[in-house]
Amino acid sequence: MTKEIRISIAILILGAISLGIYWFIPVGGSQAIATEKNIKERIFLAQYEAEVYQNIPEVKSYLKDLNIIIQSGKSILPLSNSELDKNGIKVQHLLLTDTGFIEDGKQGDKLLHNDMMRILPSIVSTLDSSTAQICKTTTCYTAEKYNFVTNATTRATVDVDNNKVLKVQRFPNMQPDISLRLKRMAQAIALNAPEVKKELGKTPAKKDMSMANVRSALKESPCEQSAHLCVAPTFADHEKEQVLWAIIDLTELKLSAAKWAGLGKTTTPACISERTLQNKFIMENYCRQDSYLDRNGWKMTYRLTGSDGLEIRDVSFNGEPVLTSAKTVDWHVSYQQKGADQLDTSGETYIAGRRVEYIVGEDNKYQFGYNDAMGCPMFSTSVVLPFNGPLIKPLKGQSGFALTQDFRNPKWPMACNYRYENRFEFYDDGSFRILAINKGRGCGINAIYRPIMRIDMAVSDEQVFSSYDNQWSVWEKENSSTAMPKNIQYPFKVTEKNTNKGYYIEPNHGQFSDQSRGDHATIYATKFNPEEGDQDLLTLGSCCDLKDDGVYRYLENKENINGENIVLWYVPRVKNDATEGSEYCWADTVLGDDGNLEVKEWPCSVGPKFVPIGLEGQ
């Protein structure tokens, strides 16, 4: 071997060793740190209901099969044979008639929607010692079904050789891996979701989507709001190093929420869940910043407050100032009971974790209840949380639009859980209405609800408040009134001091075609004081003292209000009703014909209308 060849071999060996070292040593030294590109999370909430998805072939065929099963008196939608092997088919046949396996498929005489999710050869980790012993010598299969109504999983172990069910276990509030059919349906919903198309800027194809993490998504990303079965398909954009997570609710068959995030570790399914997404979305878009609305001549700013619900500010119509601020600061919830003499007030009483207050009244009756604040989901004193952000909706049968915000306790409509809506309706003629809507369900019957509305008019810096009783009387001092007879359409008005420019106030007696039974309200007029609710107000007054709405404290000094900046407080008083056929301020959960739960609601809407003076004859 010549000297040159030896040199050549040495060069090749040294080169190979150097390249090997270079390949295997991490760049940046041994203490590598996370270098994930910092991608800002962007969240969006679903804007469309389940109806949008019902014509997708996968969904349509699933609903059709489910309907056939329920109509035939069965509760479990079986797996198709294409998802099963020969033993699986045998096991499914056995389990669909096994009383132990199917016994949670009924509630009274109503069938509950169940899906068989998977049937596979048993794995040791799912077997207890006695079953494992049997399965050592025989062929065992494990089957799992999911009950969509009770949010429970049933697991059965079957001895296939002897055609015998060895064990049935139920796991409340647990969700299994989903069937291939549900996976395909989730993919179809994700591919057809209008929000996903908009975010991706194109109609996505199946190849763009990944469902590899179905198991993790199921285990750690339930739709917490309602304990629904959810999965999270993803759409990766490798160029921008970001991924779109879409949470699909397989109980309601719709997109629930979604977020854009980086491709790194922080985007594991554990980090996305419906509540987390809603909290972040609402905080960043409606709590930490104002939103602006310009429509049909109306302009305004709106935001979610810490405890005073949805607030509108600086409202104008065709350039004329209308409102400085309007909001519902509190809901006072009070229940009336008989038996005040039996009442033990020596200690505190709690209902569903809420401390209740007692007020003893006449005729051996007493009131008890609490105050509910609505507001931002984080860094706030609210106990009834916003669902989705504020929405702008067209009005039915009228020209105009509504700005509305839904607030719910997470477990609504279960007992002692509440749902409220803050709603502002703006009409094209310059009139507007401020509404507080209660959708139940509360702790029981005999409830009296009092929403406390604060309305700061912007008619002028020098305002006059007048009430009508055969003639208009100007209020000189801070005062209140309950005199709102039905035969007087406009019992109050707010005007500019030296002109008659302003608004009539039309209390609700049920004339607004919203099934309302009237406001039965008290109106208060006070002089503007920034400390009296211009910022967030904490819980105001007693929940249960029906003689005090909490606003009297602002009337104590009886200040002059003639020609001052006036704030109106409007406090309706609504009684709920759970009597079948005349429900009001009530909600209930019933089993539908398809074996799934349906929520029925009977809302009560209260709140006055403000009509520009001069329009009353139109």
Partner 1 sequence: MKKYFPIIGSIIVVTVASYFVVTTKGKEKAKTKTVKIAPENIGKFSRQRSCARPPRFLRKSNIPQPVLIDLSQQRFKGLAMHYGKNYEKSLHPDLWGKYEHFSTYTVDEYGNLYLVPMPFISINENTFDLQKNIYKLNSETGDLEIFMHLEDVRASSNNPYGLNSIAYDCDDKTLWVSAVDESDYKNQKGVIYHIDPVNKSILDTIEGFDVLSMAIIKSEKGKYLLLGSARDNGLYSYKMNSNILDQKPKKLFSLPSANQHIRKIKIKGNNQLELQAIPFTYSLISQTEKKHRVFYNAIWIDTLRKWKLNSA
Position 544 contacts partner 1 (CB under 8 A): no
Beta carbons of 595 and 66 less than 8 angstroms apart: yes
Residue 364 in contact with partner 1, rule: CB under 8 A: no
Applying the rule CB under 8 A, the residues between 216 and 235 that interact with partner 1 are 219-220, 224
Q: Is 538 in the site for partner 1 (CB under 8 A)?
A: yes
Q: Is 536 in the site for partner 1 (CB under 8 A)?
A: yes
**In the complex, least distance from residue 260 CB atom to partner 1, rounded to whole angstroms:** 16
Q: Please write down the HEC assignment for all residues of 65-132.
A: HHHHHHHCCCCEECCCHHHCCHHHHHHHHHHCCCHHHHHHHEECCEECCEEEEEEEECCHHHCCHHHH
Shortest spacing between CB 602 and partner 1, in angstroms:
25
Contacting range for partner 1; rule: CB under 8 A; set: 77-85, 141-149, 260-268, 428-436? 260-268
Query: How many other C-beta atoms lie within 10 A of the C-beta of residue 273?
Result: 22
> Among 103-111, 190-198, 534-542, 554-562, which window interacts with partner 1 (CB under 8 A)?
534-542
Residue type, 266: T
Expressed in angstroms, the distance from the first to the final Cα of the chain is 112
Tell me the window of 89-97, 320-328, 365-373, 606-614 that interacts with partner 1 (CB under 8 A). 365-373
Does residue 306 contact residue 283 with C-beta atoms inside 8 Å? no
Q: How far is the CB of 354 from partner 1 (least distance, A)?
A: 5
Contact residue for partner 1 among 29, 108, 201, 347 (CB under 8 A): 347
The residue length of the chain stands at 618
Rg, C-alpha atoms of the chain: 31
Q: Tokens 């700013």 label which residue?
A: 301
The answer to whether residue 288 forms part of the interface with partner 1 (CB under 8 A) is: yes
Which listed residue (187, 371, 404, 438) binds partner 1 by CB under 8 A? Answer: 371
Please identify which residue in 114, 147, 307, 495 interacts with partner 1, judged by CB under 8 A: 307
Candidate ranges 191-199, 228-236, 345-353, 599-607; the one touching partner 1 (CB under 8 A): 345-353
32: contact with partner 1 by CB under 8 A: yes
Residue (of 162, 155, 66) closest to 118 by Cα position = 155
DSSP 55: T
Nearest to 438 by CA among 406, 403, 473: 406
CB of 373 to partner 1, least distance (A): 7
DSSP assignment of 371-396, as one string?
Answer: EE-B--SSSS--SBEEEEEEEEEEPT
- To partner 1, the closest distance from the beta carbon of 344 in angstroms equals 12
User: Is residue 8 a contact residue for partner 1 (CB under 8 A)?
Assistant: yes
Asked whether position 174 contacts partner 1 by CB under 8 A, the answer is no
Residues 6 or more apart in contact with residue 130 via CB below 8 angstroms: none
**Interaxial angle between packed helices 57-71 and 180-192, expressed in degrees from 0 to 180 and rounded to the nearest 10:** 130
From the CB of 252, what's the least distance to partner 1, in Å? Answer: 21
- Cβ(462)–Cβ(563) under 8 Å? yes
**Residue selected from 156, 255, 287, 323 as contacting partner 1 according to rule CB under 8 A:** 287
Stretch that binds partner 1, among 22-30, 60-68, 86-94, 433-441 (CB under 8 A): 22-30
Cβ neighbours of 423 (radius 10 Å):
21
Binding site for partner 1 (CB under 8 A): 2, 4-5, 7-9, 11-12, 14-16, 19, 22-23, 26-27, 32-37, 219-220, 224, 241, 263-265, 270-273, 275-276, 279, 283-284, 287-288, 306-307, 347-348, 350, 352-355, 370-371, 373, 375-383, 385, 410, 536, 538-539
